[in-house]
């Protein structure tokens, strides 16, 4: 916020503080974890000023002065979450230590690997996460058995499983047991659900690209900052 008397919706303010994306911040608010000037706030649309004292789980938050954008090559066996009651390893812990509070923009399931972006920029996260941005996510999948032609045809044309419609923007068979899939919306566990419908199991599932950003030679478990041109390309979406 540029002026002390300007008003900002609480979920937008939390996103600018690097607490979470706007959507995730809404969940924090409605679950009663956010206080403004010492008072719990659960109503979406509540507005705050630069002088408001905002806490999340009792911890003071403030607008970030530096925005960061980091690409991680997430290994399998790491969780996309800020914490885990089961004590499983967190993808967040693989990042270098920075003073800003980062969160993952989008997700990869526990067993999958590949490109995962972290940031403290709520507006940036909103662009990446919205289906209207039509940002492509590209995956390479190795399967436990040969992939039938019917799988490629169904996933490319669109298939409904348990009332949910799944459709790949692009799909290519690059081996008897290996496929390249490009998604737009990326519903929860989409590739795994479609594979399971055809009695296939993904032995290895890796996201190799998010929009203009490719993993390239980035080693598993390693990370790098996005370059300004990559961030600008996302913003144009």
45: domain CATH number?
3.10.290.10
Domains: count for the chain: 3
Q: What is the average per-residue pLDDT within 218-222?
A: 97
39 & 82 share domain: no
Q: Residue 3 falls within a domain, yes or no?
A: no
* CA–CA distance, 31 with 121 (Å, rounded to integer): 22
* pLDDT at 4 (0 to 100): 38
pLDDT of residue 2: 39
What is the pLDDT at residue 237? 67
Q: Is 121 a catalytic residue?
A: no
Same domain for 164 and 140, yes or no, is: yes
| Active-site choice (84, 109, 121, 162) | 109
Among 11, 34, 233, smallest CA distance to 127 is for 233
224 assigned to some structural domain: yes
Domain enclosing residue 124, as ranges = 69-131+213-236
46-64 CB burial, b ≥16 within 10 A, e <16: bebeeeeebebeeeebeeb
Are residue 118 and residue 230 in the same domain, yes or no? yes
Residue 182 has pLDDT above 90, yes or no: yes
Q: Is 189 contained in some domain?
A: yes
Nearest to 55 by CA among 66, 44, 40: 40
CATH code at 158? 3.30.70.1560
Average pLDDT score over the chain: 90
Around Cβ 179, how many Cβ atoms within 10 Å?
23
Please check whether residues 27 and 78 belong to one and the same domain. Answer: no
Q: Answer whether residue 23 is part of any domain.
A: yes
Asked if residue 2 belongs to a domain, the reply is: no
Residue 5 has a pLDDT of: 45
CA distance to 183, 213, 226, 227, per residue, from 233 (Å): 18, 9, 11, 10
Task: Say if residue 182 is in the same domain as residue 195.
Answer: yes
- Is 198 domain-assigned? yes
pLDDT per position as a tens digit, 86-139: 999 999 999 999 888 888 998 899 999 999 999 988 888 888 877 778 899 999
- Residues 110 and 225 placed together within one structural domain of the fold: yes
């Amino acid at each position: 916020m540029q002026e002390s008397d300007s008003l900002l919706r609480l979920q937008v303010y939390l996103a600018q503080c690097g607490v979470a994306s706007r959507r995730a911040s809404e969940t924090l608010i409605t679950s009663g974890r956010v206080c403004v000037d010492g008072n719990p706030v659960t109503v979406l649309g509540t507005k705050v000023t630069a002088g408001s004292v905002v806490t999340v789980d009792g911890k003071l938050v403030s607008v970030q002065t530096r925005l960061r954008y980091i690409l991680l090559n997430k290994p399998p066996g790491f969780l996309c979450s800020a914490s885990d009651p089961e004590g499983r390893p967190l993808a967040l812990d693989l990042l270098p230590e920075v003073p800003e509070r980062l969160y993952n923009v989008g997700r990869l399931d526990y067993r999958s690997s590949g490109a995962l972006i972290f940031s403290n920029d709520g507006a940036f996260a909103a662009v990446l996460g919205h289906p209207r941005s039509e940002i492509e996510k590209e995956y390479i999948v190795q399967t436990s058995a040969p992939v039938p032609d019917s799988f490629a045809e169904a996933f490319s044309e669109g298939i409904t499983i348990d009332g949910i419609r799944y459709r790949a923007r692009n799909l290519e068979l690059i081996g008897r047991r290996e496929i390249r899939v490009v998604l737009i919306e990326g519903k929860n566990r989409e590739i795994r659900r479609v594979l399971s419908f055809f009695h296939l199991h993904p032995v290895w599932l890796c996201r190799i690209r998010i929009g203009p950003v490719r993993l390239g030679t980035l080693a598993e478990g390693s990370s790098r900052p996005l370059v300004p041109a990559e961030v600008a390309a996302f913003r144009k979406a």
